């Protein structure tokens, strides 16, 4: 009798997936702890509002998630509590067209900026450091 009660509880729990668990299962964060911290810091928005890590995720909900320097806007297509491979995780959501266009635009801007601000390939050696110091003190 206890097993039946436990199995029915397990079935009801699997229908509602926590936001931090879904973000982890969809591979937006490496750990649930990182997902929880991002949600609590207000970096992840659920349908345009701040939420808590225990918020139940619904299908067709809109999430805005930080990804490096960009922010991805995704629509939830399916729910999952288990973390699986990347191809299966990508079936859980769909990125909006506006989000993809914005990310491409930001990438192009970063690439153009890299042409104007070239970074050195490595640290200068001893002779190059001496030349730099001599140049600065002229």
Domain range spanning residue 76? 2-117
Q: Are 16 and 2 in contact (CB under 8 A)?
A: no
125 within domain boundaries: no
- At residue 74 the predicted structure's pLDDT band, cuts being 50, 70 and 90, is very high
138 within domain boundaries: no
CATH number at residue 101: 3.10.290.10
- Over residues 77-132, the pLDDT tens digits come to 999 999 999 999 999 999 999 999 999 999 998 888 877 776 777 888 999 999 99
Look at residue 85 and give its three-state secondary structure.
Answer: coil
127 within domain boundaries: no
Task: Check whether 19 has a pLDDT greater than 60.
Answer: yes
User: Given the DSSP bridges, would you call strands 45-46 and 49-50 parallel, antiparallel or unpaired?
Assistant: antiparallel
- The number of folded domains in the chain is 1
């Amino acid at each position: 009798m206890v097993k039946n009660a436990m199995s029915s509880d397990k079935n009801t729990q699997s229908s509602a997936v926590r936001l931090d668990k879904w973000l982890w299962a969809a591979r937006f964060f490496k750990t649930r702890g990182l997902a929880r911290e991002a949600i609590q810091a207000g970096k992840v928005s659920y349908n345009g509002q701040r939420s808590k890590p225990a918020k139940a995720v619904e299908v067709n909900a809109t999430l805005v998630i930080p990804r490096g320097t960009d922010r991805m806007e995704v629509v939830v297509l399916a729910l999952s509590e288990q973390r699986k491979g990347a191809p299966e995780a990508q079936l859980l959501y769909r990125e909006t067209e506006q989000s993809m266009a914005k990310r491409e635009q930001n990438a192009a801007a970063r690439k153009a900026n890299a042409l104007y601000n070239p970074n050195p390939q490595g640290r200068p050696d001893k002779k190059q450091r001496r030349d730099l110091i001599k140049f600065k003190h002229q």
